[in-house]
Amino acid sequence: MTDLAVLLATVVSTLALGVGGVVLLTVGSWRTALRVLLDLLVAAGLLRLAGGPGWTALASAVAVVVLRRMLWSGLAPASPAAPPTTDPPPWVSRAHPHRGQQGTNRM
């Protein structure tokens, strides 16, 4: 089981690079490609951890997860900006409402 898990982890790591490249070429978004790559590298790290529960496997899995979290927080789209404020409409007389409109002169 240990050799199989390590072999699968190596295969997933190798395929992660290829899939990340394919996503980059087809979708055209490097953020999406990076996210797919990091998700597959996390999967490979967990497979490697399942194959040989040692400190090296644990450290590599933790490093990939921490790197993924840091990059995701840095690549997250910014919150939408507040809508621009507009000046309040000019005062309009109730007796002559048309005088408050700009660009129209009904006199």
pLDDT one-digit tens code per residue, 41-98: 888 888 887 777 778 878 877 888 888 888 877 766 656 666 666 665 666 666 665 6
Query: Would you say the C-alpha torsion 38, 40, 44, 45 has a positive or negative sign?
Result: positive
The residue ranking higher by pLDDT, 61 or 15, is 15
Position 35: which residue type?
R
C-alpha closest to that of 72 among 27, 32, 40: 32
Tokens linked to 60? 């590599």
Domain boundaries defined on the chain:
2-75
pLDDT at 101 over 70: no
**pLDDT tens, position by position, 17-30:** 899 899 999 988 88
pLDDT at 98: 63
